[in-house]
Copies of this chain bind each other. A is one copy, B any other.
């Protein structure tokens, strides 16, 4: 039978100043899904690798399976699909793992069905999957995973189409990600947040989100660096990630433009103006965690402006 295999990228949500409104995609890590058409209706997850047995194989309970079910309902398909899901990134790591899986499956299944749905329609389904995964239909991982690049989610209230703005990405903007082997549950990271923000901090934050967008349009890496400051969320969540400030200092000491928590953690990202700097930042951050005896993985890549990619077709 016909099958399509898709890579979908991990994503860094929030991006320092932009809690709940910014996200970008990277080239590494990411998830791979192989979706195979079959003549019986329904969705079956035949294989999951790389999840340590943690993800549900029941399609309706798995975010990727759920996305496939909703897709087939939307186009009123008479066919069904099998899904092989290859998790190639850590779960619950602040890198948009559930978003990458859902987007990989949706992109593959849409290719099998002659791209009947637009990316905006796929986004709607992916957001419903996010709701299954983490209780709220956030777009800050699924939108960059699906569109690629650097994305602003201006508005994503439920029950209406989100207002997504695709932003330009400077050519030499490299991302370093370190994933310390420490789990931070998204719900915990949300519950820790104060429901109020001091006005003076909110003003600094909205100056920085505005400046970050200007920096991206102007290709002004120094301005991007100055804007990559989170005075609202990072101070509240830093304590969930052991040695966060030591890692951040190591990144900045090695010429990173900026460094903060990826999504709700535990991963930490830094942006740099060259691959060499990003690699040096990765070594420095990893050395901090090694010194403290905490296992960690590091990834270095350009910002991924492509989004999901078809890596194989059969049949």
Interface of A toward B, CB cutoff 8 Å: 17-22, 152-155, 163, 165, 167, 193-200, 202-214, 217, 223, 226-227, 232
Q: How far is the CA of A227 from the CA of B198 in the complex (A)?
A: 22
Residues of chain B within 8 A of A193, CB atoms compared? 199
Residues of chain B within 8 A of A223, CB atoms compared? 154, 165
**Cβ distance A164 to chain B, nearest Cβ, rounded Å:** 10
Docked-complex contact B202 and A206, CB < 8 angstroms: yes
Asked, given contacts A197-B197, A217-B217, A223-B165, whether A203 binds B19 with beta carbons under 8 Å apart, the answer is yes
Q: How far is the CA of A223 from the CA of B164 in the complex (A)?
A: 10
Residues of chain B within 8 A of A211, CB atoms compared? 152, 154, 163, 165
Query: In the complex, what residue of chain B is closest to A223 when comparing beta carbons?
Result: B165
Contact of A202 among B22, B202, B210 (CB under 8 A): B202
Docked-complex contact B18 and A210, CB < 8 angstroms: yes
Docked-complex contact B206 and A18, CB < 8 angstroms: yes
Docked-complex contact B21 and A226, CB < 8 angstroms: no
Q: How far is the CA of A200 from the CA of B21 in the complex (A)?
A: 11
Docked-complex contact B197 and A195, CB < 8 angstroms: no
Query: In the complex, what residue of chain B is closest to A200 when comparing beta carbons?
Result: B195
Q: How far is the CA of A147 from the CA of B202 in the complex (A)?
A: 26
Q: How far is the CA of A297 from the CA of B204 in the complex (A)?
A: 34
Residues of chain B within 8 A of A155, CB atoms compared? 204, 207, 226
Q: How far is the CA of A197 from the CA of B232 in the complex (A)?
A: 11
Docked-complex contact B17 and A208, CB < 8 angstroms: no
6 pairs, CB–CB < 8 Å, chain A vs chain B: A152-B211, A154-B210, A165-B211, A165-B223, A195-B198, A195-B199
Residues of chain B within 8 A of A207, CB atoms compared? 18, 20-21, 152-155, 209
**Cβ distance A127 to chain B, nearest Cβ, rounded Å:** 16
**Cβ distance A246 to chain B, nearest Cβ, rounded Å:** 26
Docked-complex contact A17 and B206, CB < 8 angstroms: yes
Query: In the complex, what residue of chain B is closest to A19 when comparing beta carbons?
Result: B203
Docked-complex contact B203 and A194, CB < 8 angstroms: no
Docked-complex contact A163 and B217, CB < 8 angstroms: no
Contact of A152 among B20, B195, B196, B210 (CB under 8 A): B210
**Cβ distance A236 to chain B, nearest Cβ, rounded Å:** 10
